[in-house]
Amino acid sequence: MKNPEVAQLLYDIADLLEMQNVSFKPAAYRKAARSVETLSEDIAEVFRSGGREKLMVLPGIGESIAEKIEEFLTTGKLKYYDGLKKKFPQHITELMNVPGIGPKRIKLLHGKLGIKTVADLEAAAKAHKICKLPGFGEKSEEDILKGIGTFKKGQERMLLGYALPIAEEIENRLRGLKETARVSIAGSTRRRKETIGDVDLLVSCKGGKATARIMNFFTSMPDVNRILAKGETKSSIMLKTGLQVDLRVVDDSSFGAALQYFTGSKEHNVVVRELAIRKGLKLNEYGVFRKNSNRRIAGKTEEEVYKAIGIRYMEPEIRENSGEVEAAARNKLPNLVKYGGIKGDFHTHTVKSDGGNSLGDMVAAAKQLGYEYIAITDHSKSERIAHGLSDEEMEKWLKEIKAVAAREKGIKILAGSEVDILPNGELDYPDDLLKKMDIVVGSVHSRFKSAKEEMTKRILTAMENKHLDILAHPTGRMIGKREPYEVDLKRIFAAAAEKKVLLEINAYPDRTDLKDVHAREAKGFGCKFVIDTDSHSTENLRFIDLGVAVARRAWLSPEDVVNTRPLKELPRFFRKIRI
Ligand code: DGT
Ligand code: CA
Ligand code: CA
Ligand code: ZN
């Protein structure tokens, strides 16, 4: 999968161009980067199958960028990029990835303090050298240190949305080998945690000799950068994308026990093992054994392992020692939302604002997914960078969407907007315009650093507006890029339940906002949810399962999530949707 590498290259070019005060081009490169980053197919494969022309079919990729991607894919280098970099200190692109400092400040820090790397930056901040520079203060120095923290966290762990396709690709390759019997992803990837430290894979093999062949195959895959360890039963590799993958090979009779063990979490395993001991049993990665006789009573499947200990099988997403073992013992496990159980998306963008595809493309893609409905929610006027629509433009756009909706038979198209929640809590369009929308999604997109009370009031005020249907990405975080804003979530949840404002679980890979623990807490307040992709292209619609994963980790049932409901039930949850 070449996508992360190519996307990073395009992002870096955008940053470098921005540092030279070039206009328009940086935005074009960022759009292209996002398009590649979120592509489901391997970009190298796209290129192989149809050359530069095929690349140019992708949203946001024109001839000049396609040419550069081609050069990078065929030679592994890009002259244009190397040329741009020459004009700046060596590690400039690394510094650009630290949230909170932009091109101008980097130039200044380099000029005044000779800062070249993130390590330099951290040292200078800790030595209080930065706060003394013109235009900086104690606060901005603190912010830089926080930004470095966010950056480092982001370096150590990969987003689930990017790690999962890579893991699944390797899983499929292993499954294709004649030597393997059963193959599964394990660890945090199987539990669908929002970020992944390393990917764990488990296979069982047919016969003893097969082990070596499986390991040889695994360590010599083309995307391996380094072999970290290679043994009979365990190997570790580092992929070119910087992701570590561990593979364990076990006997097929122990596959269930090994899968249970290596799926974790560690905390879940501790509790399950204690329970086994209390029942006079012993549990390890080889099976469940009677303590006295050491006779094995289970191990082939996970279901069998849990059953032997006297509890129900539980889905990997809830194995976090947060009450699941007790629930399983009392037969009180939740009925979790299902992958593939979503019937529509309430938050999507088109080329009308900052999306990469047309209304027609988005609708066709939603139909392809078998959806019953899709809401088109382009940005409101204050979102200048995202080409938000003025009152008049939005009014006209709603009419256009509704005209298309009236002709469309295969899917219900809802005309709406992602409307900014302004700093004073007002929505970014007047009420008589909001009234014309089938659906209103409200978002905070500015002043992320407001004090907690101010931000809380801002959102509570927005929820007073009876036109608001959905509170989008309620904490504003972007994993590895931006910390959540300070807000009193308990008060937000209480108000959302009371005002019947739906809370979004935004499925976009670096958002997953609300996150698992917050969504679970909100359910306790009686809140209802929607799972949305915030798609900026047709490709993004498939992120929906990342949102379903969050909902499952939050113990949500289909009853809690409005877009598991068929179209005919939507009027129960939205004031203005008519069917
Ligand atoms: P990660 O990689 O940080 O995203 O998180 P995990 O959960 O994938 O952790 P990892 O890769 O260190 O180990 C995979 C699983 O193996 C883990 O979820 C549970 C199991 N495991 C690893 N070490 C231990 C241990 O010391 N005790 C127990 N009970 N289980 C362990
Ligand atoms: Ca792991
Ligand atoms: Ca591991
Ligand atoms: Zn959006």
State the Rg of the chain over Cα: 25
Section 72-85 average pLDDT: 91
From the CA of 188, give the closest atom in ligand 1: 8
| Cβ atoms 411, 366 nearer than 8 A | yes
Quote the ligand 1 centre to 248 CA distance (angstroms): 13
pLDDT at 90: 67
Ligand nearest to the CA of 419: 4
Quote the ligand 4 centre to 353 CA distance (angstroms): 10
Q: Of all protein residues, whose CA lies closest to atom 27 belonging to ligand 1?
A: 266
Place of tokens 């990405």: 473
Ligand nearest to the CA of 354: 4
| Cβ atoms 67, 52 nearer than 8 A | yes
Q: Of all protein residues, whose CA lies closest to atom 17 belonging to ligand 1?
A: 264
Quote the ligand 3 centre to 311 CA distance (angstroms): 26
Q: 284 by DSSP, 3-state: which?
A: strand
pLDDT at 509: 94
Name the CATH superfamily housing domain 255-329: DNA polymerase, thumb domain (3.30.210.10)
Assess whether pLDDT exceeds 80 at residue 206.
no
Q: Of all protein residues, whose CA lies closest to atom 20 belonging to ligand 1?
A: 262
**What's the mean per-residue pLDDT of the chain?**
94
Contacts of 115 by beta carbon, 8 Å cutoff, 6+ apart: 95, 106, 109, 121, 124
Q: 296 by DSSP, 3-state: which?
A: strand
Quote the ligand 2 centre to 188 CA distance (angstroms): 5
From the CA of 195, give the closest atom in ligand 1: 4
Quote the ligand 2 centre to 203 CA distance (angstroms): 15
Q: Of all protein residues, whose CA lies closest to atom 24 belonging to ligand 1?
A: 266
What is 158-250's CATH number, 3.30.1490.100, 3.40.1440.10, 3.90.1150.10, 3.30.460.10?
Answer: 3.30.460.10
Ligand nearest to the CA of 188: 1
Quote the ligand 3 centre to 127 CA distance (angstroms): 36
For ligand 4, a single-atom ion, the residues with CB < 5 A are 418, 534
Quick one: tokens of 77?
């280098």
Section 420-434 average pLDDT: 98
Per-residue pLDDT band at 155 (split at 50, 70, 90): confident
Residues with CB under 6 A from ligand 1: 187-188, 193, 196-198, 200, 261-262, 264-266, 269-270
From the CA of 265, give the closest atom in ligand 1: 18
Section 290-300 average pLDDT: 95
User: What DSSP string runs through 118-165?
Assistant: HHHHHHHHHTT-STTSTT--HHHHHHHHHHHHHHHHHHHSEEHHHHHH
Quote the ligand 1 centre to 471 CA distance (angstroms): 35
pLDDT at 200: 98
Q: Of all protein residues, whose CA lies closest to atom 14 belonging to ligand 1?
A: 187
| Cβ atoms 267, 243 nearer than 8 A | no
In the chain, what are the domain boundaries?
Answer: 3-156, 158-250, 255-329, 344-572
Q: pLDDT, tens digit, for every residue of 240-272?
A: 888 999 999 999 999 999 999 999 999 999 999
Asked: is 344-572 a CATH 3.20.20.140 domain? The reply is: yes
Quote the ligand 4 centre to 43 CA distance (angstroms): 25
Give the span between the Cα atoms of 200 and 173, in whole angstroms.
15
For ligand 2, a single-atom ion, the residues with CB < 5 A are 187-188, 198, 200
From the CA of 270, give the closest atom in ligand 1: 29
From the CA of 268, give the closest atom in ligand 1: 29
Q: Of all protein residues, whose CA lies closest to atom 15 belonging to ligand 1?
A: 262
Q: What's this model's pTM, rounded to 2 decimal places?
A: 0.87
Q: Of all protein residues, whose CA lies closest to atom 16 belonging to ligand 1?
A: 262
Give the span between the Cα atoms of 547 and 559, in whole angstroms.
16
Residues of the chain with pLDDT > 70, as a percent, come to 99
Q: Of all protein residues, whose CA lies closest to atom 19 belonging to ligand 1?
A: 264
Section 191-199 average pLDDT: 97
Quote the ligand 2 centre to 6 CA distance (angstroms): 25
| Cβ atoms 391, 430 nearer than 8 A | yes
pLDDT at 95: 85
Q: Which fold has domain 3-156?
A: DNA polymerase; domain 1 (1.10.150)
Quote the ligand 1 centre to 187 CA distance (angstroms): 6
User: What DSSP string runs through 530-541?
Assistant: EEE--BSSTGGG
Per-residue pLDDT band at 152 (split at 50, 70, 90): confident
Quote the ligand 4 centre to 348 CA distance (angstroms): 6
pLDDT at 361: 96
Q: pLDDT, tens digit, for every residue of 209-222?
A: 789 999 999 999 99
Among 193, 238, 266, 271, the mutation site with the greatest number of ligand 1 atoms within 8 A of its Cβ is: 266
Region class of 422: left (phi > 0), else alpha (psi between -120 and 50), else beta: beta
Quote the ligand 1 centre to 264 CA distance (angstroms): 6
Quote the ligand 1 centre to 265 CA distance (angstroms): 6
Ligand nearest to the CA of 274: 1
Q: pLDDT, tens digit, for every residue of 495-511?
A: 999 999 999 999 999 99
Among 157, 201, 262, the mutation site with the greatest number of ligand 1 atoms within 8 A of its Cβ is: 262
571-578 own/partner pairs: CB under 8 Å, 24+ apart: 573/469, 573/500, 573/502, 573/528, 574/438, 574/439, 574/469, 575/466, 575/467, 575/469, 576/435, 576/437, 576/438, 576/439, 577/414, 577/438, 577/439, 578/438
Output 75 or 103, whichever has higher pLDDT. 75
Q: Of all protein residues, whose CA lies closest to atom 8 belonging to ligand 1?
A: 187
Q: pLDDT, tens digit, for every residue of 371-387?
A: 999 999 999 999 987 88
Helix (H) / strand (E) element for 107: namely: helix 103-113
pLDDT at 81: 93
